[in-house]
Every structure is written in C-alpha cells, then in structure tokens.
Amino acid sequence: MTEQKNKRIWKVRTVKNYLEAHNHLFIEQVLQLTQSYVRLDCRTYHFVRTINSAKDIRAGAKCIRILPWNRIELINELPSSFDYSKGDLISNKDGKIALSDGKINCVLSSSL
C-alpha cells in the first residue's frame, strides 16, 4: 500500500533544440531525483508538430532512462494509480491523442 501511495508518475516533455525537431514525451515512474538528473522507468513517445491520428506517434519500449534537469521543459504529475506501462494510444472526438490505461486518459497531443 505505501509503495503505491509514494509512487510518482510523471509526463515529461524534453527541450527541443530546433522548431522542426520531434516532440519527445516520457511517461514514467520516478525512481530517483538528484540535483543533476531524474532517473525514470518509462515509455517514450515521439511525434512531429502536427499529427492526424494515434498512428503518427511512435511509442518506444519501456526502459530505464536518466534525464538531466536542463533537458526537461515541462513536467505534469499524473495519479499514482495510472498504469503507463500497459496503456494504449487512443484518439477521442475532440482530436486529442491520449495514453489510456482504461481508467485514466493522459493527453499527449492534439491532432487539430
């Protein structure tokens, strides 16, 4: 019980070096925080600025990654119950693409 309560699930967007660069999102459980980096057990998602459907998003395999703080642009904290490792990419009526575990939808991008 305490493990679930203390578990942190984040959606992290990394810095893009140039406008045409792909967006890189990480949906993960935070394993370690230091002054220099964040260690994550995560899945990655890569996509261009304009997407038409969930098929336009490339999902990477689940793995351990270490991100330096200076490469992180934005962090959204998700509910600790969100099961990012078993989520599926879905499109909804509003044109938003989300990672869904069947209970919680985590919006990745808008296709509009």
15: tokens are 């810095």
* CB neighbour list of residue 58: distance below 8 Å, 6 or more residues apart: 45, 46, 47
User: Is 99 a domain residue?
Assistant: no
- Number of independent structural domains in the chain: 1
CATH number at residue 39: 2.30.30
Q: Is residue 102 part of a domain?
A: no
The distance from CA 10 to its chain's CA centroid, rounded to whole angstroms, is 7
pLDDT on residue 102:
84
Structural domain contains residue 53: yes
CB atoms within 10 A of CB 85: 13
The total of other beta-carbon atoms located within 10 Å of residue 13's CB is 16
Hey, is 79 helix, strand or coil? coil
pLDDT one-digit tens code per residue, 64-111: 999 999 999 999 899 998 888 778 888 777 777 888 888 888 888 755
Task: Find the mean pLDDT for residues 21-32.
Answer: 86
Q: Does 21 reside within a domain?
A: yes
Domain hosting residue 21, numbered range: 2-82
pLDDT given for residue 48 in this prediction: 73
pLDDT at 6: 73
In a domain, 22, yes or no: yes
Report percent pLDDT > 90 for the chain. 26
**Domain-located, residue 51:** yes
Q: How many CB atoms lie within 10 A of CB 6?
A: 8
- pTM given for the model: 0.79
As a whole number of angstroms, the distance between CA 93 and CA 34 comes to 40
Give SS3 for 90.
strand
**Taking 70 as the threshold, does the pLDDT of residue 13 lie above it?**
yes
Decide which of 20 and 44 is more confident.
44
Q: Tell me, what's the pLDDT at 2?
A: 39
Type of residue numbered 85: S
Residue 70 lies in a domain: yes
